[in-house]
Structure 1
Amino acid sequence: MTTPAELEARLRLHVLPDLGPRRFRRLLDAFESASAALSAPASAWRSLGLPATCAEARRSADTRERAASALHWLEHADHHLLMWDDPGYPALLAELGDAPPLLYVAGNPAILETPQLAMVGSRRASRPGLDTARAFARSLAGGGFTITSGLALGVDGAAHQGALEAGGLTIAVLGTGLARLYPQKHAGLAERIVSQGGAMVSELPLDSPPHASHFPRRNRIISGLSVGTLVVEASPSSGSLITARLAAEQGREVYAIPGSIHHPGARGCHQLIREGALLVESVEHILEALRGWQAGSSGSPAPQAEQDDHPLLRQLRAAPLSSERLAQACGLEMSETLAQLTELELLGRVVCEAGRWVPCDA
């Protein structure tokens, strides 16, 4: 349990200039707590290879004020802060070497542990591209996936809207602080995401404005939270391709929807397919890929007797567990555990309640 003093110290560290996730962890590994790091001499910080700007700013009035503002923000019932050593920190994201040390969450933090599929694409998508994104999100969310995207104009917005239309869950990961919503055109969409049980997420300090360097950082969280990433429409220079390549580096699946060879917005997807992404023409192609561990190439469900004796179900009948605890109990990778949970959820055998999985026949 993080003490109030340690929470305030971590928030102060988090707003320091030039202190990214790896340096933040280096500090806590060296001093064992944020409180100890703040009180350590500047020479100790320099010995860790940290910039002088970090050591100089840690005791400034601005740093204290921004931490105090974050504590005030957290007083709201729908506002949360997840730290990488919290039990509720999303397990798939924790696998990343540069996992965010702190995640601000507006809405329901428990859904960060549900099986997620990232959907990304062009900000200037064509009307058919937007319709495709909306339809895929609607079907996938209706089938039990949480749809994760970046709240941007274009494909991101269409993906969030499709998930909401299906009565499903969706997560928006921002490239700004949660108190500096961007783009403002999607303020209403952001409110709907939270009010319908979803979440807004950012690793950035609350008052962080839009900046070009923030969005690649945001993209690694989108892919890192998800079992796979679907690219709907993108040019070769699109940031969506960054997200897809990050997903591949993180060991996650990458899916791409093809288009006309005459449409510039399809070229990024075609490039991904040439690089090994799975060509997707229907939602079933994604579901078949995730079912591969169980049903082989046929895509047919396992027999009822096999489902009843499923190792995940055996564990959950003993006690409800989070995704991370279930993976540990069964000796599985998190990505495989979430894929299996998704299949069982689609079959109506399990459900996620308050961040823990329970069998429907319990």
Structure 2
Amino acid sequence: MTSEDVEERAYWVSLSSVPGIGSKRFFGLVEWFGSARAAWGASAAELEASRVLPAEVRQALLRGRERSDPFRAYAEQARTCTRIVTALDAAYPCGLLSIAGRPPVLYVLGDPECLEAPSVAVVGTRKPTPYGREMTSGLVREIARAGVTVISGLAVGIDTVAHRAALEAGGRTVAVLGSGLGHLYPPCNSGLAREMVSSGGAVISQFPSDTIPGERNFVARNRVVAGMALGVVVTEAPSGSGALLTASAAREFGRVVMAVPGPLTSPTYQGSLECLRLGGKAVGSGSHVLVDIGIVAVADWPGPLNPGPQGSSSASGEGQRSTSGAEPSLTPDPSRAITDPRGTLGPDGRMVLDAIGEGEAVGFGVLTARTGLKADRLGAVLGVLEVMGLVVRLPGDSYARRPSPDSGRTPGTI
């Protein structure tokens, strides 16, 4: 990264922190002026001519830059986190790149690689029933053991159960906050957050460290949760639950929406029922979730798609029962993935695999051009192919097919 790149990122932090400059206005300014640095230094007349900011926000920007030094502000924010990731960086989640309202900056405490891994969001009520806790814990354990990162919001209730279950399964989990890292909320989960970070996960926020929790922040947080994930699972939610906002955002972004069925007479499952009525997939186990998001196809499972206590299954799991009674393996078979992958892939997976020639290292941008897929979809498909052992990511954001063990080649060699 050049000194100019570092400087531009400092201006991204300062410009995005000005009250009233949200995502749309931030990217509007960068597009008009060419860079955050140029927008930060624009005169009052130039800002007015851009027609991006209303008068009160223009004044807030002019006042803010009189008393704020971007480089000092960047250094202060950097002290509160492991890394500052902007939409300019390769570590920025692919799933967020094309969504409306994407945050310009993410403050990451923990391992930034978590943001690039295939992930599933698990959300729900702050007051779960014993059934909701049991279903969430069992479902998340399966997902985490499959190597998929579990995302949630660190709230009490279902969020806490999801994070905890992922850790207990030896997996990685990411919390997305509706406050700054300096005001971790709720405080009762500060110990859980530290454990997540020490176990290879992360706690992230789109807000500067001194931002206190607020209702509007949580709405924005929910959109980030939905955008980062391949799919969103609502394990228990009443009508009006914030989890339904996450599910709504997931539908808007084209993500898979799933819900755990519950007692129809229970108030705590009326929101979950709403998700299903709007087209969400019914899931009863982690294996259902993995199939529905395309991490592993139904054909990969040697045993039943194990239903939860309800005995329910998704449509994709029907007809897949085994008389052996064996539990499905949550680890894809690498040899099968290499020798006969096409039967387990969807159309996009086959297209991306075909776009990577044998012995060829192909950059992300080239793959975008070859496949015609949007960046968020391409990133999701590549993540699935990595988990299945079909491709390997190389330095410089390039990808190569993973050769069979007897090919005598290493990935990326010609």
TM-score, with structure 1 as normaliser: 0.87
Question: Which runs of no fewer than 5 residues in structure 1 stay unpaired?
Answer: none
The change in CA–CA distance for 1:74 and 1:275 in structure 2 (over 3 A counts) is same
Further displaced range: 85-94 or 288-297: 288-297
CA–CA distance in structure 2, aligned partners of residues 246 and 238 of structure 1: 13
1:229 equivalent in structure 2? 232
Structure 1 residue 126: Cα displacement: 1.4
The alpha-carbon distance between structure 1 residues 293 and 157, as it changes in their structure 2 partners (threshold 3 A), is closer
**Structure 2: gaps spanning 5 or more residues:** 300-315, 321-327, 344-349
Secondary structure at the residue paired with 2:273? helix
Q: In the alignment, which of 40, 65, 73 is matched to residue 38 of structure 1?
A: 40
Which residue, 220, 223, 228 being the options, matches 2:223? 220
Whole-angstrom distance in 2 between the partners of 1:254 and 1:203: 23
Deviation at 1:8, TM superposition (A): 2.8
Letter in 1 for 2:189: H
CA shift for structure 1 position 42: 1.5
Deviations 1:78-117 (A, max 9, x none): 6111111222221111011221111111111122111110
Cα shift at 1:41: 1.7
Q: Could you tell me which of 20, 23, 26 is aligned with 2:25?
A: 23
Whole-Å Cα distance in 2 between the matches of residues 192 and 316 of structure 1?
41
* Structure of larger gyration radius: 2
Partners of 1:80 and 1:289 in 2: CA distance: 32
Residues 1:41 and 1:344: Cα distance change in structure 2 (over 3 Å) = closer
Q: What is the alpha-carbon distance in structure 2 between the residues aligned to residue 324 and residue 157 of structure 1?
A: 37
Q: Deviations over 1:138-163 (max 9, x none)?
A: 11011121101111110011111111
- TM-superposed CA distance for 1:308, in Å, is 8.4
After TM superposition, the structure 1 = structure 2 runs for residues 191-340 of structure 1, keeping only pairs within 5 Å, are 191-291=194-294, 305-307=339-341, 312=353, 315=356, 318=359, 330-333=371-374, 334-335=376-377, 338-339=380-381
Q: Distance in 2 between matches of 1:35 and 1:336?
A: 30
CA distance 1:331–1:120, change in 2 (3 Å): same
Question: Does residue 163 in structure 1 map to residue 163 in structure 2?
Answer: no
The TM-score, its normalising length taken from structure 2, stands at 0.77
* CA RMSD after TM alignment: 3.2
> Is contact 1:120–1:155 with CA below 8 Å preserved after alignment?
yes
Which letter does structure 2 place at the counterpart of 1:160? H
Residues 4 and 112 of structure 1: CA distance in aligned 2, closer, same or farther (over 3 Å): closer
Deviation of 1:20 after TM superposition, in Å, equals: 0.3
The Cα shift of 1:188 comes to 0.5
User: Within the alignment, does 1:342 sit opposite 2:384 as a pair?
Assistant: yes
- Partner residue of 1:106 out of 97, 106, 109: 109
Which is worse superposed, 93-102 or 19-28?
Answer: 93-102
Say whether the 8 Å CA contact 1:107–1:198 is kept in structure 2.
yes
Contact 2:108 2:203 in 1 (8 A): yes
Q: CA deviation at 1:349?
A: 4.8
